[in-house]
Amino acid sequence: MPELRRVLANGVELNVALSGSGPAVLLLHGFPHTWQVWTDVMAGLSGRYRVIAPDLRGFGASGRPDHGYDAHTLARDAEALLTALHIPSAAVVGIDAGTAPAFLLALRRPALVRRLAVMESLLGRLPGAEDFLADGPPWWFGFHRAAPALAETLLEGREAAYVDWFLDTGTLGDGVRPALRDAFVRAYTGRPALRSAFSYYRALPESALQIHQALATARLTVPTLAVGARPVGPALERQLRPVADHLTGHVIEDCGHIIPLHRPRALLALLHPFLAGPDTAAA
Protein backbone atom coordinates (compact mmCIF):
# COMPACT_ATOMS: atom_id res chain seq x y z
CA MET A 1 0.00 0.00 0.00
CA PRO A 2 1.26 3.52 -0.74
CA GLU A 3 2.23 5.83 2.09
CA LEU A 4 -0.27 8.66 2.61
CA ARG A 5 1.14 12.04 3.61
CA ARG A 6 -0.19 15.56 4.14
CA VAL A 7 1.88 18.13 2.25
CA LEU A 8 1.41 21.89 2.23
CA ALA A 9 1.82 23.09 -1.36
CA ASN A 10 1.02 26.55 -2.71
CA GLY A 11 -1.05 27.32 0.38
CA VAL A 12 -3.21 24.15 0.13
CA GLU A 13 -2.82 21.00 2.19
CA LEU A 14 -2.69 18.11 -0.27
CA ASN A 15 -3.31 14.46 0.49
CA VAL A 16 -0.49 12.62 -1.29
CA ALA A 17 0.10 8.91 -1.94
CA LEU A 18 3.76 7.88 -2.35
CA SER A 19 5.36 4.57 -3.23
CA GLY A 20 8.55 3.11 -4.64
CA SER A 21 11.99 4.59 -5.15
CA GLY A 22 13.99 5.92 -8.07
CA PRO A 23 13.33 8.76 -10.53
CA ALA A 24 10.18 10.65 -9.63
CA VAL A 25 6.88 10.25 -11.48
CA LEU A 26 4.04 12.64 -10.60
CA LEU A 27 0.49 11.45 -11.40
CA LEU A 28 -2.37 13.99 -11.71
CA HIS A 29 -5.92 12.60 -11.75
CA GLY A 30 -9.20 13.96 -13.09
CA PHE A 31 -12.97 13.85 -12.45
CA PRO A 32 -14.61 11.96 -10.76
CA HIS A 33 -11.45 10.41 -9.35
CA THR A 34 -8.94 10.76 -6.56
CA TRP A 35 -5.32 9.59 -6.41
CA GLN A 36 -6.76 6.06 -6.25
CA VAL A 37 -7.49 6.10 -9.98
CA TRP A 38 -3.74 5.38 -10.27
CA THR A 39 -3.80 2.35 -7.92
CA ASP A 40 -2.82 -0.22 -10.55
CA VAL A 41 -0.40 2.12 -12.33
CA MET A 42 1.38 2.91 -9.06
CA ALA A 43 1.80 -0.80 -8.38
CA GLY A 44 3.26 -1.26 -11.84
CA LEU A 45 5.67 1.67 -11.64
CA SER A 46 6.83 1.63 -8.03
CA GLY A 47 9.45 -1.05 -8.63
CA ARG A 48 11.47 1.43 -10.71
CA TYR A 49 10.21 4.88 -9.75
CA ARG A 50 9.30 7.11 -6.84
CA VAL A 51 5.61 7.53 -7.62
CA ILE A 52 3.73 10.57 -6.28
CA ALA A 53 -0.05 10.77 -6.64
CA PRO A 54 -1.83 13.66 -4.92
CA ASP A 55 -5.49 14.38 -4.54
CA LEU A 56 -5.72 17.63 -6.50
CA ARG A 57 -6.96 20.66 -4.60
CA GLY A 58 -10.63 20.30 -3.81
CA PHE A 59 -10.68 16.55 -4.42
CA GLY A 60 -10.56 13.61 -2.04
CA ALA A 61 -8.84 14.38 1.26
CA SER A 62 -7.05 17.51 0.03
CA GLY A 63 -8.01 21.01 1.10
CA ARG A 64 -10.97 22.75 -0.52
CA PRO A 65 -10.15 26.41 -1.03
CA ASP A 66 -12.73 28.71 -2.57
CA HIS A 67 -10.53 29.58 -5.54
CA GLY A 68 -7.60 28.31 -7.60
CA TYR A 69 -9.13 25.65 -9.85
CA ASP A 70 -7.64 27.06 -13.05
CA ALA A 71 -4.84 25.20 -14.83
CA HIS A 72 -2.13 27.73 -13.95
CA THR A 73 -2.81 27.50 -10.21
CA LEU A 74 -2.99 23.71 -10.36
CA ALA A 75 0.38 23.65 -12.14
CA ARG A 76 1.78 25.81 -9.34
CA ASP A 77 0.34 23.31 -6.83
CA ALA A 78 2.21 20.50 -8.58
CA GLU A 79 5.45 22.46 -8.70
CA ALA A 80 5.16 23.37 -5.02
CA LEU A 81 4.48 19.74 -4.15
CA LEU A 82 7.68 18.62 -5.86
CA THR A 83 9.59 21.37 -4.06
CA ALA A 84 8.14 20.36 -0.70
CA LEU A 85 9.21 16.76 -1.35
CA HIS A 86 12.73 17.92 -2.36
CA ILE A 87 12.37 16.50 -5.87
CA PRO A 88 14.43 18.43 -8.46
CA SER A 89 12.76 16.89 -11.52
CA ALA A 90 9.99 14.45 -12.38
CA ALA A 91 8.12 12.85 -15.21
CA VAL A 92 4.54 14.11 -15.09
CA VAL A 93 1.48 12.11 -16.12
CA GLY A 94 -1.98 13.68 -16.29
CA ILE A 95 -5.46 12.52 -17.25
CA ASP A 96 -8.69 14.49 -17.69
CA ALA A 97 -8.56 17.54 -15.39
CA GLY A 98 -4.92 16.73 -14.62
CA THR A 99 -3.86 17.17 -18.25
CA ALA A 100 -3.94 20.97 -18.54
CA PRO A 101 -1.87 21.64 -15.40
CA ALA A 102 0.59 18.91 -16.40
CA PHE A 103 0.92 20.54 -19.83
CA LEU A 104 1.43 24.05 -18.43
CA LEU A 105 4.00 22.83 -15.92
CA ALA A 106 6.01 21.13 -18.66
CA LEU A 107 5.65 24.12 -20.98
CA ARG A 108 6.82 26.64 -18.42
CA ARG A 109 9.28 24.54 -16.42
CA PRO A 110 11.02 22.12 -18.83
CA ALA A 111 13.98 21.83 -16.46
CA LEU A 112 11.60 20.47 -13.81
CA VAL A 113 9.55 18.13 -16.03
CA ARG A 114 11.72 15.43 -17.61
CA ARG A 115 8.95 13.85 -19.65
CA LEU A 116 5.22 14.47 -20.04
CA ALA A 117 2.40 11.97 -20.61
CA VAL A 118 -1.17 13.24 -21.01
CA MET A 119 -4.38 11.46 -21.83
CA GLU A 120 -8.10 11.71 -22.47
CA SER A 121 -8.56 15.47 -22.32
CA LEU A 122 -8.51 18.54 -24.53
CA LEU A 123 -6.26 21.55 -24.15
CA GLY A 124 -8.42 24.64 -24.24
CA ARG A 125 -9.35 25.81 -27.72
CA LEU A 126 -6.27 24.55 -29.53
CA PRO A 127 -7.07 23.36 -33.08
CA GLY A 128 -7.21 19.65 -33.71
CA ALA A 129 -10.32 18.65 -31.77
CA GLU A 130 -12.89 19.77 -34.34
CA ASP A 131 -14.11 16.24 -35.07
CA PHE A 132 -14.52 15.44 -31.38
CA LEU A 133 -16.42 18.70 -30.81
CA ALA A 134 -18.54 18.52 -33.97
CA ASP A 135 -21.71 18.07 -31.90
CA GLY A 136 -20.54 20.37 -29.11
CA PRO A 137 -18.72 19.56 -25.87
CA PRO A 138 -19.97 16.71 -23.65
CA TRP A 139 -23.25 17.57 -21.96
CA TRP A 140 -21.86 17.61 -18.43
CA PHE A 141 -19.49 20.49 -19.20
CA GLY A 142 -22.41 22.90 -19.43
CA PHE A 143 -24.29 21.28 -16.56
CA HIS A 144 -21.32 21.49 -14.18
CA ARG A 145 -20.65 25.12 -15.10
CA ALA A 146 -24.26 26.32 -14.77
CA ALA A 147 -24.67 28.96 -12.07
CA PRO A 148 -25.70 29.55 -9.42
CA ALA A 149 -24.71 26.07 -8.22
CA LEU A 150 -27.38 24.25 -10.23
CA ALA A 151 -25.43 20.99 -10.36
CA GLU A 152 -24.80 20.97 -6.61
CA THR A 153 -28.48 21.62 -5.89
CA LEU A 154 -29.71 18.83 -8.14
CA LEU A 155 -27.09 16.25 -7.22
CA GLU A 156 -26.77 16.63 -3.44
CA GLY A 157 -28.06 13.38 -1.98
CA ARG A 158 -27.81 11.63 -5.37
CA GLU A 159 -24.04 11.59 -5.70
CA ALA A 160 -23.63 7.80 -5.84
CA ALA A 161 -25.83 7.35 -8.90
CA TYR A 162 -24.10 10.24 -10.65
CA VAL A 163 -20.58 9.00 -9.96
CA ASP A 164 -21.59 5.48 -10.98
CA TRP A 165 -22.65 6.78 -14.40
CA PHE A 166 -19.20 8.23 -15.02
CA LEU A 167 -17.41 5.13 -13.74
CA ASP A 168 -19.52 2.80 -15.87
CA THR A 169 -19.35 4.98 -18.98
CA GLY A 170 -15.62 5.54 -18.49
CA THR A 171 -14.98 1.79 -18.51
CA LEU A 172 -17.38 0.95 -21.37
CA GLY A 173 -19.76 -0.68 -18.91
CA ASP A 174 -17.20 -2.80 -17.08
CA GLY A 175 -17.25 -0.68 -13.92
CA VAL A 176 -14.52 -0.50 -11.30
CA ARG A 177 -13.75 -2.62 -8.26
CA PRO A 178 -16.27 -2.08 -5.43
CA ALA A 179 -13.70 -0.69 -2.98
CA LEU A 180 -12.54 1.91 -5.49
CA ARG A 181 -16.09 2.75 -6.51
CA ASP A 182 -17.01 3.35 -2.87
CA ALA A 183 -13.93 5.52 -2.35
CA PHE A 184 -14.82 7.71 -5.33
CA VAL A 185 -18.43 8.05 -4.18
CA ARG A 186 -17.31 9.13 -0.70
CA ALA A 187 -14.92 11.66 -2.20
CA TYR A 188 -17.72 13.35 -4.14
CA THR A 189 -20.48 13.21 -1.55
CA GLY A 190 -21.72 16.43 0.02
CA ARG A 191 -22.15 19.97 -1.24
CA PRO A 192 -18.57 21.12 -0.46
CA ALA A 193 -17.11 18.21 -2.43
CA LEU A 194 -19.43 18.85 -5.37
CA ARG A 195 -18.67 22.58 -5.35
CA SER A 196 -14.94 21.95 -5.53
CA ALA A 197 -15.29 19.40 -8.32
CA PHE A 198 -17.45 21.65 -10.46
CA SER A 199 -15.12 24.59 -9.85
CA TYR A 200 -12.74 22.90 -12.30
CA TYR A 201 -15.36 23.19 -15.04
CA ARG A 202 -16.23 26.77 -14.10
CA ALA A 203 -12.56 27.67 -14.48
CA LEU A 204 -12.27 26.15 -17.99
CA PRO A 205 -12.49 29.49 -19.86
CA GLU A 206 -9.72 30.91 -17.67
CA SER A 207 -7.62 27.77 -18.16
CA ALA A 208 -8.09 27.93 -21.94
CA LEU A 209 -6.90 31.55 -21.96
CA GLN A 210 -3.86 30.59 -19.86
CA ILE A 211 -2.91 27.86 -22.35
CA HIS A 212 -3.28 30.27 -25.27
CA GLN A 213 -1.17 32.93 -23.59
CA ALA A 214 1.54 30.47 -22.56
CA LEU A 215 1.88 29.13 -26.10
CA ALA A 216 2.31 32.64 -27.46
CA THR A 217 5.86 32.67 -26.07
CA ALA A 218 6.86 29.00 -25.67
CA ARG A 219 6.79 25.55 -27.23
CA LEU A 220 6.56 22.17 -25.53
CA THR A 221 10.16 20.96 -25.67
CA VAL A 222 10.11 17.92 -23.36
CA PRO A 223 9.44 14.39 -24.69
CA THR A 224 5.65 14.00 -24.70
CA LEU A 225 3.27 11.06 -24.97
CA ALA A 226 -0.40 11.66 -25.82
CA VAL A 227 -2.69 8.71 -25.10
CA GLY A 228 -6.30 8.49 -26.22
CA ALA A 229 -9.17 6.07 -25.73
CA ARG A 230 -12.94 6.52 -25.93
CA PRO A 231 -14.22 9.15 -26.35
CA VAL A 232 -11.29 11.55 -26.94
CA GLY A 233 -9.27 9.28 -29.23
CA PRO A 234 -6.53 11.08 -31.20
CA ALA A 235 -7.89 14.61 -30.61
CA LEU A 236 -5.35 15.49 -27.91
CA GLU A 237 -2.47 14.29 -30.08
CA ARG A 238 -3.73 16.47 -32.94
CA GLN A 239 -3.89 19.47 -30.61
CA LEU A 240 -0.33 18.90 -29.41
CA ARG A 241 1.26 18.11 -32.78
CA PRO A 242 1.84 21.75 -33.88
CA VAL A 243 3.19 22.92 -30.50
CA ALA A 244 5.32 19.96 -29.33
CA ASP A 245 8.88 19.21 -30.44
CA HIS A 246 9.01 15.53 -29.39
CA LEU A 247 5.54 13.96 -29.51
CA THR A 248 4.38 10.36 -29.66
CA GLY A 249 0.68 9.53 -29.92
CA HIS A 250 -1.20 6.32 -29.23
CA VAL A 251 -4.86 5.31 -29.00
CA ILE A 252 -5.67 2.30 -26.81
CA GLU A 253 -8.35 0.19 -28.50
CA ASP A 254 -11.41 -1.08 -26.64
CA CYS A 255 -10.66 1.24 -23.74
CA GLY A 256 -12.85 3.73 -21.95
CA HIS A 257 -11.99 7.19 -20.68
CA ILE A 258 -10.65 5.98 -17.31
CA ILE A 259 -7.57 4.39 -18.86
CA PRO A 260 -5.60 3.77 -15.60
CA LEU A 261 -8.38 1.58 -14.22
CA HIS A 262 -9.91 0.14 -17.38
CA ARG A 263 -6.72 -0.88 -19.20
CA PRO A 264 -3.83 -0.43 -16.76
CA ARG A 265 -1.66 -3.09 -18.42
CA ALA A 266 -1.97 -1.41 -21.81
CA LEU A 267 -1.13 1.95 -20.24
CA LEU A 268 1.87 0.54 -18.39
CA ALA A 269 3.09 -1.05 -21.63
CA LEU A 270 3.25 2.50 -23.04
CA LEU A 271 4.57 4.22 -19.93
CA HIS A 272 7.48 1.90 -19.15
CA PRO A 273 9.44 2.47 -22.38
CA PHE A 274 8.45 6.13 -22.52
CA LEU A 275 9.55 6.92 -18.96
CA ALA A 276 12.81 5.02 -19.47
CA GLY A 277 13.73 7.02 -22.56
CA PRO A 278 16.48 9.66 -22.54
CA ASP A 279 15.80 13.28 -21.68
CA THR A 280 15.83 15.62 -24.64
CA ALA A 281 18.99 17.31 -23.42
CA ALA A 282 20.79 13.96 -23.26
CA ALA A 283 19.44 12.55 -26.52
Q: Are 54 and 76 in contact (CB under 8 A)?
A: no
What's the pLDDT at 147? 79
pTM, to two decimals: 0.97
Q: What is the DSSP letter of 225?
A: E
Q: Half-sphere exposure of 149 toward its Cβ, with a 13 Å CA cutoff?
A: 9
Q: Tell me the three-class secondary structure of 68-95, residue by residue.
A: CCCHHHHHHHHHHHHHHCCCCCEEEEEE
| Beta-bridge mates of residue 244 | 220
What's the pLDDT at 283? 40
| Beta-bridge mates of residue 119 | 95, 227
Give the whole-angstrom CA distance, residue 283 versus residue 279: 6
pLDDT digits (tens, 9 = 90+) for 47-86: 999 999 999 999 999 999 999 999 999 999 999 999 999 9
The domain containing residue 167 runs over which residues?
Answer: 3-282
Of 224, 219, 236, the residue nearest 277 (C-alpha): 224
Domain tally for the chain? 1
pLDDT digits (tens, 9 = 90+) for 184-207: 999 999 999 999 999 999 999 999
Q: Output phi, psi for 57, to 5 deg.
A: -50, 135
pLDDT digits (tens, 9 = 90+) for 128-152: 999 999 999 999 999 999 978 999 9
- Gyration radius of the chain over CA positions: 17
Residue 120 has pLDDT above 80, yes or no: yes
Give the SS3 label for residue 274.
Answer: helix
Of 104, 119, 107, 102, the residue nearest 52 (C-alpha): 102
How confident is the prediction for the chain on average, in pLDDT? 96
Question: What b/e sequence results for 55-65 when a residue is b if at least 16 CB atoms lie within 10 Å of its CB, and e otherwise?
Answer: bbbbbbbbbbb
Averaged over 33-42, what is the pLDDT? Answer: 98
CATH (domain of 35): 3.40.50.1820
pLDDT digits (tens, 9 = 90+) for 4-29: 999 999 999 999 999 999 999 999 99
Pairing assessment for the beta strands 24-28 and 3-9 based on DSSP bridges: unpaired
Length of the chain: 283
Residue 282 has pLDDT above 50, yes or no: no
Give the whole-angstrom CA distance, residue 226 versus residue 237: 5
Give the whole-angstrom CA distance, residue 139 versus residue 204: 14
